[in-house]
Structure 1
Amino acid sequence: MHHAAASSPLIGALILLIAAVIAAPVARRLGLGGAVGYLFAGAAIGPSAAGLISHPDAVLQVAELGVVMLLFLIGLDLKIERLVALRLQVVGFGGGQIAVTTLALAGVAMAFGYDPKPALALGLALAFSGTAMALQILDERGHLNRPYGEQTFAALLAQDIAVVPALALVPFLGSAASGDAADSWTETLLAAGEAIAVLAGIVVAGRYLLDPMFRLLARTGAREVMTAAALLVVLGAAEAAHAVGLSMALGAFLAGALLAGSSYRHELEADIEPFRGLLIALFFMGIGMTIKLGEVATHWAPLIATTLGYLALKIAIAAALARSFGASFADALRIGALLGAAGEFAFVLIPLTLANGLIDADTATLLSATAALSLVAAPPLIALAERLADRAEPSSGAPGADEDYSGAKGEVMVIGFGRVGQIAAQLLLAEGVETTLIDANPERVAQAARFGFKVYYGDGSRLDVLRAAGAARARAIVVCVDDREVAKRVVEIVQTSFPLTKLVVKAYDRGHALELYALGVADVARETFESALVIGRMALEAMGVDAERAAEIEEDVRRRDAARLEIQRVEGIYAGREFSYTNKPTPQPLSQPKRKGAMLDGRTTGESPT
């Protein structure tokens, strides 16, 4: 099996796919998260365990593209204007986090007997945080647009920018003792100039060339050409950045941010997303393969102690700095946990430190194992930090972005001012009902203000925000958020803390509606049901069906759907099929019989008995 996996790329791919398909569901079932499952799967099939995959470095080279595509997709959701607005967090918080963590880790290394130069190189290698891990978790939660998500992202972006000086500094530290420092400084300045030129080229191309290119390709009508163009943009920007020593992810992110306002943004997102998901899984499996289980088993006590101490130090520094940059205690705890694990660049900088003679092979092995174990430990720590933050939030005194809710006195509260919430609010406002509008997207809040709406910024799934916004006084709370899990949390909080308040909840689909009914919500509306009925009636009328007959059919489908939903509430989503009209075809013979049939008494079909 080992030889087959090594000689056949197809068998190797099958092994990786089987491991991913088994590991992710099991890990999620145990509450550990998909990333931990992929890490364990990689360790199990890697060279230090089953040995089914013998070259993890080759896997990681391909899998790194997953991180590249993840950053590109994040860039698509973050316009350049928003990025400029985050500059204080990127330079101040992100830069400060790298600097303070590097110096703190270097100080620990010196306390263990290392000279200043090797200690500084080690501190730098371990100061970076796991971009893929942190962003994957934020993306799964839908928290990238929250204040703590933005602050975490700012730190990770600062680290991607800091890769160039870090990669240049380690050889400089190694060459300082041999008198080659002047040459290293010259090379560093030349590399910085090349990096600036490439970034400027990406900006110019993104601003003036990419949109016309996609417009031209879209006219061909060939979907595969658009997919190829999307991959070309991502990989081209990544390779351009990599060619001058920058992070590939930084180049892809910048390309995505420049295309955030493009008319083809959603097409690009749909084309890249499938590749991103598979390659991120492959990335974590590749990291798992680098864990040398023999070394872990032999030195488990110092490794565990080193990993726990490393995580504690990084979490404490990141949380303290986040607090100093305006984060609440709860959000600082979340940020610290997300930035605690080692970054992907640790697996580049540690070998580079070894190659420059700053550390020995045993130290490099120990540090690489520590970095990998920190990634394994990160998801449970992040989940624990989230629970602690949720408990701390009601007493933190920060409802959300320091919003002033003193004017929120509505009889009805609408949570989520998106496409559904905006229309629902129109009916309430038309009747003169005093309504409090809340949304967790700061851009949407600002946009609503330009149209004359007062929308309060805040996370409606937080009890302190609901209390501050006057949920205790509201007669009804209308939940119009897009995230199913957020809607569920809002329902549970309202039912527990404001049991006399009526709930009206938007459901994403039939399955979500059944979940809400199971929670005890009486008033549930599926977001597309009414519009789908109208479209169907219009289609009938377009076919020449009388308007009254079309309305009767619409009402019949509505009654049948309601009856089916009642049965499904008891028997499950697959019940009540008899209430649906289907397009099941009428069975027809495949071909006409070539000869007449004959009865058993010898008569042909159609012949009368005598």
Structure 2
Amino acid sequence: MIGPELREAAVLLGAAGVVGVLAHRLRLSTVLGFLLIGLAIGPHGLGRLVGEVPALSFLVLHEGSVHLAAELGVAFLLFMIGLELSLDRLWRMRALVFGLGGAQVVVTGALIAVIAWLFGNEGAAALVLGAALALSSTAIVMQVLSEGGRLGTPVGRAAFGVLLFQDLAVVPILFVVGILGAQEGGGAFGLLLGVAGAMARAALAILLIMVAGRVLLRPLLRIIADTGSHEAFLAVVLLAVLGTAAATEAAGLSLALGAFLAGLLLSETEFRHRVEVDLGPFKGLLLGVFFVSVGLGLDLAAILEEPVWLPLSVLGLVALKVLVLLALLRLSGEAGAVSAETAVLLAQGGEFAFIVLALAEGNGLVPPETARFVALVTGLSMAATPFLAMLARRLGRRLEVPEDAARPGPSEAELAEHVIIAGYGRVGRAVGEILDAQRIPHVAVDADAARVRRLREAGAAAFFGDAAQAEMLALLGADRAAALVVTMDRPSTALEVVRAARAAWPRLPIHVRVHDEAHGRALLEAGASAVSPEVTEASLQLGEGLLTALGVPEAAARAAIAERRDAVRRVLL
């Protein structure tokens, strides 16, 4: 007999495989695919047919059965977002996060609260509904932007700034809901005092986590990296993510916020690209489970019960959020195309709305039928996000003016026409010094953690990782690089790097340091653009110095050596 946990895992893994294949073949968003799969295998899909076909019960999942995995999916998403940021960059985004994001939550929440009050809800219930529906879906929006390669664009930055503030705002929102439920009619002063106390405790918890992480995490990762154990390194990183998430949850904050803090801590270390490569598959799979869980909760038959008000409420929510965000983005100085695309992209409800509504219903602030209706509105608007994203992109292209289209985002500008140096030992450093002298930007990757640590202390842009992984090279901007230079000592490792890079980027110039002519021929066959035999080059330089010392004119000596160098290259080619 198959246990329920094993059955659920098998169904989820099978669903993930089906979505991956179909989304690739049909060129659909994987987000939409997971939502539809969740709808199909949920209690409101195949679950309705179990009475007639009992065998279908094997395929049916219920929303609560994947709750933990769905929460972990959102947590890993926030971790990866934090990993791509840094505290310095977050501080530079403070106007976007706290200015634009704060204004969006306050203005949208207030307008929705007024509308809810006009429809007969009590003041406390209207306030809760406004706060819940002001939030957008971080998980879905960030995944859609990631799939489209638009996280570094002005739209990606604006959307992320708003979403990050919304995630931070969940803490005081949940506390206000708790206070309203426990002290109904307790006065505004008590409410403000409670919120201030909760924010102070939250700030203290975040500060302690950041300090402990800086003191303990980087030294621990360096010790593990020095051992060369990939399994131990991955285990420590997972412990950091889940441990920080557990710490924030214990402090009354969210799992996702803790994971985001763990990402921020690792973003300033030399290990961030290696971590991103290792944990990418975990994030993708668990986030897929989250999207499936949203689909499980959708009941399309409920539209028949509210054939007018439910669709109108979804359209009204989307329209209101678009208008508010469009106005705020334009006031903040964003271009028209960026404002329109971002506003439409963030027009849905968010996953944290379900948490706020559940708490409010449990505290008696919102009637069960109202909470169910608003949850349906939220779920349907989230399911519509892939279509909203397509509409947003078309709208952005239509409104885009040439100067906006030509303006690169910071992430593209930081890594463009640069050189990637794979292996930063003696030869790699020499190449880096030559590039520095010519003011050519470059970034290095090396598998020796101690070496990377010393280089970073000296100010070099060096990262710990395996250059033979195409994912690592992609994170270093191989698609926009001017060249890849491979300087590894081990011939087999250099060969793996060249094969991986050539398979992923057929037009990328690859220059390789080789040990001898046989090694050079193998690398050229694997796809290297040019090779420089180390032994041959050293002997040529020695020969030139010797000829000059023996009285041969310098010009003649250089010509003789150049002729010999050309002969070696002809043999290699």
* TM-score, normalisation: structure 1: 0.68
Aligned: 1:117 with 2:124: yes
- What aligned pairs does 1:210-609 form with structure 2 within 5 A after superposition? 210-394=217-401, 399-400=406-407, 416-419=416-419, 482-483=478-479, 509=502, 513=506, 525-528=507-510, 532-533=523-524, 538=533, 551-552=569-570, 554-555=572-573
Tell me the alpha carbon deviations over residues 85-130 of structure 1, each in whole angstroms, 9 at most, x when there is no partner.
1111111100001001101111221222222221111011111110
SS of the equivalent of 1:219 reads helix
Tell me the alpha carbon deviations over residues 153-189 of structure 1, each in whole angstroms, 9 at most, x when there is no partner.
1111111111111001112333443659887666545
Tell me the alpha carbon deviations over residues 298-356 of structure 1, each in whole angstroms, 9 at most, x when there is no partner.
33443222111111111221122111111101001121122111111011011112112
Measured at CA, do residues 261 and 330 of structure 1 come closer, stay the same or move farther in structure 2, by a change above 3 Å?
same
C-alpha distance in structure 1 between counterparts of 2:38 and 2:279, whole Å: 24
C-alpha distance in structure 1 between counterparts of 2:280 and 2:60, whole Å: 26
Which residue, out of 35, 39, 42, partners 1:39? 35
C-alpha distance in structure 1 between counterparts of 2:201 and 2:512, whole Å: 57
Which residue, out of 81, 85, 102, partners 1:78? 85
Contact 2:353 2:378 in 1 (8 A): yes
Tell me the alpha carbon deviations over residues 526-561 of structure 1, each in whole angstroms, 9 at most, x when there is no partner.
33377753687749979x9x9999745631xxxxxx
Q: Provide structure 2 residue ranges, at least 5 long, that are not aligned to the other structure.
A: 48-58, 422-430, 442-458, 461-475, 483-499, 514-522, 540-563
Deviation at 1:83, TM superposition (A): 0.6
The percent identity for this pair of structures is: 37
Tell me the alpha carbon deviations over residues 28-87 of structure 1, each in whole angstroms, 9 at most, x when there is no partner.
544441101101101111122223344312312222212212222222221111111111
Measured at CA, do residues 341 and 553 of structure 1 come closer, stay the same or move farther in structure 2, by a change above 3 Å?
farther
What code does the residue aligned with 2:417 have?
Answer: F
Aligned to 2:173: 166
C-alpha distance in structure 2 between counterparts of 1:154 and 1:538, whole Å: 50
Aligned to 2:520: none
Measured at CA, do residues 483 and 247 of structure 1 come closer, stay the same or move farther in structure 2, by a change above 3 Å?
farther
What code does the residue aligned with 2:326 have?
Answer: A
Measured at CA, do residues 21 and 97 of structure 1 come closer, stay the same or move farther in structure 2, by a change above 3 Å?
same
Contact 1:510 1:526 in 2 (8 A): no
C-alpha distance in structure 1 between counterparts of 2:76 and 2:504, whole Å: 31
Aligned to 1:204: 211
Which residue, out of 10, 15, 20, partners 2:11? 15
C-alpha distance in structure 2 between counterparts of 1:554 and 1:539, whole Å: 13
- Say what the alpha-carbon RMSD is for the aligned residues: 3.8
Tell me the alpha carbon deviations over residues 207-261 of structure 1, each in whole angstroms, 9 at most, x when there is no partner.
2221111112223332111111000111111111111222222222222222222
Larger radius of gyration: 1
Contact 1:125 1:346 in 2 (8 A): yes
C-alpha distance in structure 1 between counterparts of 2:417 and 2:501, whole Å: 15
SS of the equivalent of 2:76 reads helix
C-alpha distance in structure 2 between counterparts of 1:57 and 1:483, whole Å: 42
C-alpha distance in structure 2 between counterparts of 1:483 and 1:537, whole Å: 24
Measured at CA, do residues 185 and 389 of structure 1 come closer, stay the same or move farther in structure 2, by a change above 3 Å?
closer
Tell me the alpha carbon deviations over residues 462-502 of structure 1, each in whole angstroms, 9 at most, x when there is no partner.
xxxxxxxxxxxxxxxxxx97559x99xxxxxxxxxxxxxxx
Measured at CA, do residues 220 and 398 of structure 1 come closer, stay the same or move farther in structure 2, by a change above 3 Å?
closer
Measured at CA, do residues 509 and 356 of structure 1 come closer, stay the same or move farther in structure 2, by a change above 3 Å?
same
Measured at CA, do residues 317 and 31 of structure 1 come closer, stay the same or move farther in structure 2, by a change above 3 Å?
farther
SS of the equivalent of 2:347 reads coil
Aligned to 2:157: 150
- What aligned pairs does 1:181-192 form with structure 2 within 5 A after superposition? 188-192=195-199
Measured at CA, do residues 54 and 510 of structure 1 come closer, stay the same or move farther in structure 2, by a change above 3 Å?
closer
Which residue, out of 114, 125, 132, partners 1:107? 114
C-alpha distance in structure 1 between counterparts of 2:107 and 2:257, whole Å: 22
Contact 1:328 1:396 in 2 (8 A): no
C-alpha distance in structure 2 between counterparts of 1:166 and 1:541, whole Å: 69
Q: Number of matched residues?
A: 459
RCO comparison, higher one (Cα < 8 Å, 6+): 2
What code does the residue aligned with 1:419 have?
Answer: V
SS of the equivalent of 1:128 reads coil
Contact 2:125 2:365 in 1 (8 A): yes
What code does the residue aligned with 2:10 have?
Answer: L
C-alpha distance in structure 2 between counterparts of 1:320 and 1:30, whole Å: 36
Q: Which moved more, 1:179-188 or 1:314-323?
A: 179-188
C-alpha distance in structure 2 between counterparts of 1:254 and 1:510, whole Å: 35
What code does the residue aligned with 1:417 have?
Answer: E
Contact 1:110 1:119 in 2 (8 A): yes
C-alpha distance in structure 2 between counterparts of 1:177 and 1:72, whole Å: 37
Aligned to 1:592: none
Measured at CA, do residues 550 and 140 of structure 1 come closer, stay the same or move farther in structure 2, by a change above 3 Å?
farther
Aligned to 1:26: 22
